[in-house]
Amino acid sequence: MAADSSLISRLNPQYFWDVDVTSLNESASCRLIVERVFTMGEIDEMKLVTSFYGEKKVIQVLCKLSYIDPKSLNFISKLFNKQLSEFKCYQSQRSIQPYWNS
């Protein structure tokens, strides 16, 4: 589906600054769309993506992501009533902490 499809056309194109929006396919680009909207998007866009893919699919994608910033992760955890330990990004801790956290 092209960029004028129902879901992609309703999302802010700035979330996909590094890809050609016209080449995005809603089913093939599910992970990218969910990741970008839930880390950079607004509540209305999150609701739109959740209603399009279904809550189960969105949670599945979010739980498998390697990285979600801490603030977004806490929000997503509360939004879907999921434990932080259910997210892959929470389970994989850095072995060497950045200098500003020491």
Q: pLDDT digits over 48-67, tens only?
A: 999 999 999 999 999 999 99
Burial 36-67 (b: 16+ CB within 10 A, else e): bbbbebeeebbebbbebbeeeebbebbbebee
Distance CA 60, CA 11 (A): 21
Q: pLDDT digits over 8-18, tens only?
A: 999 999 999 99
pLDDT of residue 55: 96
Question: What percentage of the chain carries pLDDT values higher than 90?
Answer: 67
